[in-house]
Structure 1
Amino acid sequence: MKKLLITAIAGSALLAASAFAQQTSPVGLWKTIDDHSGKPKAFIRISESNGEMKGKVEKLLREPGEEQNPKCVKCEGALKDQPIIGMTILSGMKQDGDEYKGGQILDPDNGKFYQSKMSLTDNGKKLNVRGYIGVPLLGRTQTWIREE
């Protein structure tokens, strides 16, 4: 009986630690919120590989009548005229304390890359993603909502 109780407690602690670890990492699916309109814009899947965070467009939230699978017409180089769905728009982000820095983010609407940093808030339920030129003061922030 004592062994069973210890096993149950250890299993519960492991599950709690796993849930906590998920909340402290940006890995997962995020709904982006447009910082100008306040409307949901896309679902971005953030993954981690060798300590680097990357974000790929999984789905666009488009109005009826809008192109449902648009291409990045304003992008340059290899991304020119590529479908936005499936495109990696966030890359090179590495953890630095409570923030993730050193990466870049692509705005498919204008085809431009910006330096980027991000940080989790609200117990990992929200992600503040800042794109900027030069210094973080010269940029804008979007708050993404965790979906899973």
Structure 2
Amino acid sequence: MRTTFKTLLLALPLLAAGFSASASDSAAGRWRTIDDETGRVKSIVEISQAANGTLSGKVLQVLQSEHGPHPLCNKCEGANKGKPIEGMTILWNVRPDGANKWANGTILDPAKGKTYSSKVALVDNGRKLDVSGCIAFICRTQTWLRDQ
């Protein structure tokens, strides 16, 4: 009985290390979006990874908006026009592009109602996510923080 208990105690740190290592290899999870102009946390986005490795991201909660607590995407066009930003998919079809990198997807900026070519990279052992929206070769990057 004591041997089993000791074995379990020794195995727990190894098991925990395995979980943290696998979490840092994936962009899947909840992220706090940081406004690159103000440095403030704007929202919580949940990123999911499909079986083929592509990423998509949905806004779970808007934390800060100049348009009140539950803003609508009034500047969006098409199906998203006038829809709540909370629950909206803002990142889609971002494909694997190397170790801890994804590219050639699309990202929506609900504040401007515009879509951009997107790329994503895990940094800082998976604790941060560099998310870029690009037009041609001009990109704007935000660093999102993993929401534990």
With structure 2 as the length reference, what TM-score do the two structures score? 0.87
Alignment correspondent of 1:144: 144
CA distance in 1, matches of 2:50, 2:71: 28
Q: Secondary structure at the match of 2:136?
A: coil
Deviation at residue 13 of structure 1 after TM alignment? 3.3
CA distance in 1, matches of 2:43, 2:129: 14
**Which amino acid counterpart does residue 106 of structure 1 have in structure 2?**
L
Pick aligned residue for 2:62 from 60, 63, 78: 60
Kindly report which structure 2 residues correspond to 1:121-140, keeping only aligned pairs within 5 A, or say none: 121-135=123-137, 138-140=138-140
**Which amino acid counterpart does residue 105 of structure 2 have in structure 1?**
G
Alignment correspondent of 1:46: 47
Gaps in structure 2 of 5+ consecutive residues: none
Q: Secondary structure at the match of 1:22?
A: helix
Deviation at residue 134 of structure 1 after TM alignment? 1.9
CA distance in 1, matches of 2:133, 2:64: 22
Q: Secondary structure at the match of 1:85?
A: coil
With structure 1 as the length reference, what TM-score do the two structures score? 0.87
Alignment correspondent of 1:113: 115
CA distance in 1, matches of 2:9, 2:97: 35
Instruction: Kindly tell me the number of residue pairs found equivalent between the two proteins.
Output: 145
Q: Secondary structure at the match of 1:15?
A: helix
Q: Secondary structure at the match of 1:83?
A: coil
Spell out, residue by residue over 1:63-84, the C-alpha distance to the aligned partner (whole angstroms, 9 max, x if none): 6x84111110111111111100
**Which amino acid counterpart does residue 144 of structure 2 have in structure 1?**
W
Q: Secondary structure at the match of 1:123?
A: coil
CA distance in 1, matches of 2:30, 2:82: 25
**Which amino acid counterpart does residue 17 of structure 2 have in structure 1?**
A
Q: Percent identity?
A: 43
Deviation at residue 18 of structure 1 after TM alignment? 2.0
Say if 2:41 and 2:64, in contact at 8 Å, map to a contact too: no
**Which amino acid counterpart does residue 95 of structure 1 have in structure 2?**
P
